Structure 1
Amino acid sequence: MSNPVAVEVTRGERVESAHRGAGAVVDADGGVAFAFGDIDLPVYPRSAVKAIQALPLVESGAVDRLGLGDADIAIACASHAGEDAHVAAARAMLAKVGRGADDLECGVHWPLGERAARALARAGATPSALHNNCSGKHAGFVCLACAEGVDPAGYVAPGHPVQRAVTEALGAVTGARLGADTRAVDGCAIPAHAIPLRALAFGFARFATGQGLPPGRALAARRIRAAVAACPSLVAGRGRFDTEVMAALGPAVFTKTGAEGVFCAALPDLGLGLAVKADDGGKRAAEVMIAALLIRFGGFGAPLDRFIAPGLVNWNGTAVGALRPAGPLSGATAIPTGPP
C-alpha cells in the first residue's frame, strides 16, 4: 500500500502535482499521537539527526574542556548556507584545537546559499571544505577526537572512535538497532543509518524532554537545544526554514531538515517528537509536511505561514499557484491549542 498524498501543488484552480509521504508524532514513552503512511519503513534521516550526532561532543565534556560555546554547538548541528558567519564559526571551532580546513573530511561544494555562492564567485575565489554545509558537524567531530586524545584522521570511518560514539548515541536515543545492515554513506562521507520514522520521532521526543536518557545525555540534549535557540542563524541561514522558525519561536521548538525529503522536529513543552519523509525526496514537500504538524500540535501561527502554504510565482513575479497540506494533513492551517 502506497503512502498517502500529503502535499498538493496547485496552478490556478487545479492540482498540478502531488507529493506522497509518511509522518509520525510520538511522545517520550513511545506513544504515537498521530501518524500517516508507513512509519516503520526505515529511511535515511541524513542531516536531520545532526543534533543527536552532536551529543557525544557535549556529553563527553569535550565542549567544556575545549572552551566551546553556544556558537560552536550550534554550528556543529548545522546544515548551513555557507555564509561568511558560518565559515567563520567552523574555522574558529577548529582553531580551538589547532586544526583547520585541511582536517575536514566532508568534501567541498559551493555554498548552498545563492547569495554566498555568488559573492564567492564575484571575489574570484573557490570554495573550501569550510563552505560545505556539514563543515560545522565535521569540525565538531575533529574537536571530539582531539579532546579525547584520538587522532582525528579518518574520523568519517565507521570504526573510528568518533563514529562509534555517534552511532551509539543515535541508536540509544532513537531506540533503533543500528549495524552494518542499516549503514550506508552520507553525502559528507560519514555513516548514514536507515531508521524508521517512528523511531526518529521517538528519539526527538526524548531529545526534547530528556526522558529515558541517562542524566548526562539529557543535560547534553538540553544544552544543545539552548545553544541552537541562542544562535539559530548558524543552523541554516538567511530565509531558510530552521533559522526562520527557531529565531521566531526560540526554545519552544527545535527543527532540523535532512536530505531527500526528511524533516524532524521536537516540541519540548509538549514532550513530542516529529518526523516526516516525502517519498520523492522533495524538500518543498517536507517543509509543508513538518509545518503542518507543528501548527497542528504546537499551535504556532505566523512564523510558519510562509512554509505551510508557499506561493508559486512565474518569472514576472505573478502568483500562479501554491503548495498546501493535503490528505491526512488537510486542515492544518486551523490552529488548535495543543495536541488532540
Structure 2
Amino acid sequence: MINHSSSKSASLPFTVAVSRGSMVESHHLVAAAICDSTGRILQSWGNVESPVYLRSAIKPLQALPLVESGAADAFDVTEKELSLACASHNGEPIHVEAVTNWLNRIGLGIEALECGCHWPTYDPAARALAVSGQEPSAAHNNCSGKHSGFLCTAVHLKETTTGYIHREHAVQQRIVKVLEDFTDLDLSNAPVGIDGCSIPTIAIPLQNAALAFARFADPSTLTVARATACKRLQKAISKYPEMIAGSDRLCTALNGAAEGRVVAKVGAEGVYLAALPESGIGVAIKALDGTTRAAEVALGAILEDLGILDEHVHRAIDPYVRPILRNRNDIVVGEITAVIDS
C-alpha cells in the first residue's frame, strides 16, 4: 500500500539541463519517486501515479524465480550467471561465452533463445565480430542472460521451453506474480506491450516501482526464501557488475563502486531503478522524452541528495552522471546537469 502521508512531492518533474557555452541549449524533464519498503513515499517529482513501461530496469525482479524455484542451485548457476540473468549486456565475449556455457549446461543451444539477435552494442565488440567474418547470434542479444535464466527455470520445472516468451507461459506468469507481490498491484488489467526481446512488458506507476525496489533492497518482511533470493541477486550484481552491463556502462561502474550500497539497473526509454539496501529505499526514474542520458544524470543527482556518493563512487560514475560535453576535436563545449528542487 502506497502511503503519501509523509511525502515531499513536487507536482512538476525536475529538469536535466544541457548547456553549451554560457546558455542552456535544451532540457529533459524527469519524473521520479523515492519510496521505503513500508510503502511510504519519501519524495517525488512529476506524475508518479500513471503507469510506465519499466522495460529492462525490472530485470532483477524478473530473475527472482530462477533462484526461488531451485533452478539456480539445481544447475550450479554461478554468481556471474546470476548477475548476467539481470543484465542488459553489451554482447562482449565474456557475456556471449557465459550465455553459451550456461545453455550447454542445461542441455540447450543458442537456438532455444527466443530473444532475437542484434550486433553487440559495444562498438569494439561489434567491430571485432565483423572483422572475424561472423554474424551475431541470439547470444549477443543484450537480454540473452535473462532469457537463459528463463530457460533454466523452465527446464528445472520440466516445462516446455518453446514459447516461454509468451504471457500465458508459466515462466511469464511467475514473473507477473512476483511483480504483483512487490508492487502491491493487481496487474491483470495493466497496459501490456511487447519488449525488445519479445517478452511482455507491463506498465507500472513509478511510485509502485520505487516500492518494489525498496522491498528488493530490504526484503526483511518477505518470506525467508524470497529474502534470501533478493540478497543473493544483490550480492551477485555487486560482485560481478561487468556481467550486468559491460565496458563503458553506468550500471557496471555504479554497481561495482558502490559495493552493495546501491543496486541499479537501466531500462529502455529513459528508465532507471535503484535499490539502496542499507536504508531500504527504492528509486524509480523516468526521463519523459525517453533519453538514457537524462535518466543517468537524474540518478546521480538523486543518489547525491541521498548521501550515497562518496569520492570513490564519484570517480567511477561522474563521467556518466556529470558528463562533460566535448566536440570532435575534444574541446570542452558544455555539460549536462540536474536541477532538482528538493
Q: After superposition, where does 1:304-319 map in structure 2 within 5 Å?
A: 304-319=317-332
1:267 aligns with 2:280: no
Contact 1:28 1:211 in 2 (8 A): no
Whole-Å separation in 2 of the counterparts to 1:176 and 1:297 = 27
Question: What is the DSSP-based 3-state SS (H/G/I as helix, E as strand, rest coil) of the residue aligned with 2:48?
Answer: coil
Whole-Å separation in 1 of the counterparts to 2:168 and 2:88 = 24
Q: Normalization by structure 1: what TM-score?
A: 0.94
Contact 1:254 1:267 in 2 (8 A): yes
What residue is the counterpart of 1:171 in the other structure? 180
What residue is the counterpart of 2:4 in the other structure? none
Whole-Å separation in 2 of the counterparts to 1:103 and 1:137 = 13
- Compute the displacement of 1:133 (Å): 0.2
What residue is the counterpart of 1:17 in the other structure? 26
Whole-Å separation in 1 of the counterparts to 2:190 and 2:54 = 16
Q: After superposition, where does 1:45-124 map in structure 2 within 5 Å?
A: 45-124=54-133
Q: After superposition, where does 1:172-187 map in structure 2 within 5 Å?
A: 172-187=181-196
Give deviations 1:162-212, integer Å, cap 9, x for gaps.
110111111211222212542111110001000000000100000011033
Give deviations 1:273-312, integer Å, cap 9, x for gaps.
0010000000000000111111111431323322221011
1:200 aligns with 2:209: yes
Give deviations 1:312-333, integer Å, cap 9, x for gaps.
111111010010011437xxxx
Whole-Å separation in 2 of the counterparts to 1:172 and 1:181 = 15
What letter is aligned with 2:211?
A: F
Instruction: Give the aligned CA root-mean-square deviation in angstroms.
Output: 1.4
Give deviations 1:235-290, integer Å, cap 9, x for gaps.
00111001011111111110000000000001100110001000000000000011
What is the number of residues matched between the two proteins? 329
What residue is the counterpart of 2:3 in the other structure? none
Whole-Å separation in 2 of the counterparts to 1:305 and 1:80 = 21
What residue is the counterpart of 2:39 in the other structure? 30
The 1:120–1:190 alpha-carbon spacing in structure 2 relative to 1, beyond 3 Å, is same
Contact 1:311 1:319 in 2 (8 A): yes
What letter is aligned with 1:144?
A: T
Residue of 129, 134, 157 corresponding to 1:125: 134
Give deviations 1:206-247, integer Å, cap 9, x for gaps.
001103322211110011001111111000011100101111
Whole-Å separation in 1 of the counterparts to 2:120 and 2:227 = 33
Whole-Å separation in 2 of the counterparts to 1:2 and 1:106 = 38
Whole-Å separation in 2 of the counterparts to 1:7 and 1:69 = 39
Question: What is the DSSP-based 3-state SS (H/G/I as helix, E as strand, rest coil) of the residue aligned with 2:59?
Answer: helix
Question: What is the DSSP-based 3-state SS (H/G/I as helix, E as strand, rest coil) of the residue aligned with 1:178?
Answer: coil
Give deviations 1:64-105, integer Å, cap 9, x for gaps.
111111011111000000000010111111111111110000
Whole-Å separation in 2 of the counterparts to 1:209 and 1:2 = 28
Whole-Å separation in 2 of the counterparts to 1:181 and 1:266 = 24
What residue is the counterpart of 2:6 in the other structure? none
* Structure 1: runs of 5 or more not aligned: 330-340
1:160 aligns with 2:173: no
Whole-Å separation in 1 of the counterparts to 2:224 and 2:49 = 29
Identity of aligned residues (%): 43
What letter is aligned with 2:320?
A: F
1:234 aligns with 2:243: yes
What residue is the counterpart of 1:210 in the other structure? 219
